[in-house]
Amino acid sequence: MADSRSAALFRRACRSLVGGVNSPVRAFKAVGGFPVFMESGKGAYLKDADGRRYIDYCLSWGPLILGHAREEIIAAAQRALKKGSTFGAATEMEVALAEALKAALPSLELLRLTSSGTEAVMSAIRLARAHTGRDWVIKFAGCYHGHVDSLLVQAGSGATTLGTPDSAGVPRAWAATTLNLPYNDLQACRRAFSKYGGKIAAVIVEPVAGNMGVVAPAPGFLQGLRELTRAHKALLIFDEVITGFRLCYGGAQSLFNIRPDLTCLGKIVGGGLPLAAYGGSRKIMERVAPLGPVYQAGTLSGNPVAVAAGLACLKLLKEENPYPRMEQLIMHLVQGLREEAEKAGSAVQLHSVGSMFTLFFCPSSISDYSSAQRCDRAAYGRFFNAMLRQGVYLPPAQLEAAFLSSAHDSADLTLTLRAARRAFEPA
């Protein structure tokens, strides 16, 4: 592979882009080998710079629920682009997108569009602090909320360890405003509130975790967070950047029947273009400028091309309702992977929720970040590369969610399982 076009491009990229990439995980450091440079995508497939085809289960990390290059989305984006790529002024289509989001997630009474999930989360945290007059935020180890400074904190050892920075360049004092608790541990959350209740502005959570691999919320966990935050007058923020429109037409909040105070959206809502959003009750959102004192802005926020793509994507999801079929396919895939792993004597855990899944190379069950840390990442790296060689593109890191799109079919799954049979190493 060292003489492939991808490898040559990577060497060239490293001379001008940091680490050869524009987002660190793309460098394949977690799985070894050269990153594959992509040339095009269509439906469930990616084509790389060497002309090799892959069945794609990474799907740009979540946005491509309808697969690559869906005609209707391209047409909508082209129509918008022809009318002008950006105005820095209000447009009718962004109102239509806001209305569609509100109709799908009733907890959104007012919202604001941004360009990335990071921005949406950063703004929601700022707003929560302004609304409550408090500074601290509870997050859960293994949940990722974008590269917001104060949320880049390490997993603490004790239940209520104050965060220390997980990235250079984050002031200790900022990380110290974050309490990092174990996912699915309501008791730890209860203790934190009884000790620091008056300081905590918000609890932010991925309602289904996708960034430590797929980990479902334990029964009662999300409900418990809702009750605790309400009792202590803190806000509950659902980071639905992955789960929004991934599990159903709406949010995980619709499935679990929980009304968060604030919600962050991203990925799918932009139909593959850069677009995200945050919103919540009118009373809270009215604190955002120009109505209120919380400043937040963006030159390309609500960009017409991204809005057009997002609207087209939501319209297709609503019309086609691909969710039940994707869920069936993924059950089949996960069951097949489990059987192949068993035959090879490979100790794995397979988690799936809706159309997201993770194959953990781990002998024991996983419910939070510390149990996910027990995975054999090297084994995943070998599996990943063996699948890649056979034309299956998984996320290039163990603790990430893999996704299915509505463009995948059972023939793709059969090929994937056949590849997996060879990729699992005999014990």
Ligand X SMILES: *Cc1c(COP(=O)(O)O)cnc(C)c1O
> Quick one: tokens of 325?
């079929």
> Interface with ligand X includes 263 (CB under 6 A)?
no
> Quick one: tokens of 49?
């710079």
> Interface with ligand X includes 239 (CB under 6 A)?
yes
Q: Among the options 48, 56, 185, 239, which is catalytic?
A: 239
> Interface with ligand X includes 137 (CB under 6 A)?
no
Q: Among the options 267, 278, 380, 412, which is catalytic?
A: 267
Report the residue number, 252 or 294, with the smaller CB distance to ligand X: 252
Max CA distance (Å), the chain: 62
357 three-state secondary structure? strand
Gap between the Cα atoms of 228 and 225, Å rounded: 5
Report the residue number, 117 or 217, with the smaller CB distance to ligand X: 117
Q: How far is the CB of 320 from ligand X (least distance, A)?
A: 24
Q: How far is the CB of 426 from ligand X (least distance, A)?
A: 35
Q: How far is the CB of 270 from ligand X (least distance, A)?
A: 9
> Quick one: tokens of 125?
């945290």
Gap between the Cα atoms of 264 and 277, Å rounded: 6
Contact predicate 392/254, CB 8 Å = no
DSSP states of 248-302: SSS-HHHHHT---SEEEE-GGGGTTSS-EEEEE-HHHHTTBTTTSSB----TTTT
> Interface with ligand X includes 114 (CB under 6 A)?
no
Position among 184, 211, 349, 398 found at the interface with ligand X (CB under 6 A): 211
- Selection from 352, 354, 326, 241 nearest residue 44 by Cα: 326
> Interface with ligand X includes 144 (CB under 6 A)?
yes
Contact predicate 10/20, CB 8 Å = yes
The β-bridge relationship of strands 262-265 and 349-353 is unpaired
Q: 144 catalytic, yes or no? A: yes
Q: How many residues does the chain have?
A: 427
> Interface with ligand X includes 217 (CB under 6 A)?
no
> Interface with ligand X includes 117 (CB under 6 A)?
yes
CA-angle at 293, arms to 289 and 299, nearest 5°: 35
Contact predicate 341/380, CB 8 Å = no
> Interface with ligand X includes 118 (CB under 6 A)?
yes
Report the residue number, 18 or 231, with the smaller CB distance to ligand X: 18
Q: 239 catalytic, yes or no? A: yes
Q: How far is the CB of 264 from ligand X (least distance, A)?
A: 7
Position among 145, 232, 246, 408 found at the interface with ligand X (CB under 6 A): 145
Position among 206, 261, 340, 412 found at the interface with ligand X (CB under 6 A): 206
- The stretch near ligand X (CB under 6 A) out of 43-51, 67-75, 111-119, 409-417 is 111-119
DSSP structure class, residue 107: T
Q: Among the options 45, 54, 57, 144, which is catalytic?
A: 144
Neighbours of 76 (CB within 10 A): 23
> Interface with ligand X includes 94 (CB under 6 A)?
no
Position among 67, 251, 266, 271 found at the interface with ligand X (CB under 6 A): 266
The size of the interface with ligand X (CB under 6 A), counted in residues, is 15
- The stretch near ligand X (CB under 6 A) out of 122-130, 238-246, 318-326, 356-364 is 238-246
Gap between the Cα atoms of 41 and 33, Å rounded: 22
Q: How far is the CB of 252 from ligand X (least distance, A)?
A: 11
Q: How far is the CB of 27 from ligand X (least distance, A)?
A: 16
> Quick one: tokens of 182?
């174990």
Position among 241, 305, 379, 419 found at the interface with ligand X (CB under 6 A): 241
Q: How far is the CB of 115 from ligand X (least distance, A)?
A: 8
- Selection from 272, 64, 236, 2 nearest residue 140 by Cα: 236
Q: Which residues pair with 162 in a beta bridge?
A: 179
Q: 409 catalytic, yes or no? A: no
Provide the annotated active-site residues.
Answer: 144, 239, 267
Residues that bind ligand X (CB under 6 A): 116-118, 121, 144-146, 206, 210-211, 239, 241-242, 266, 276
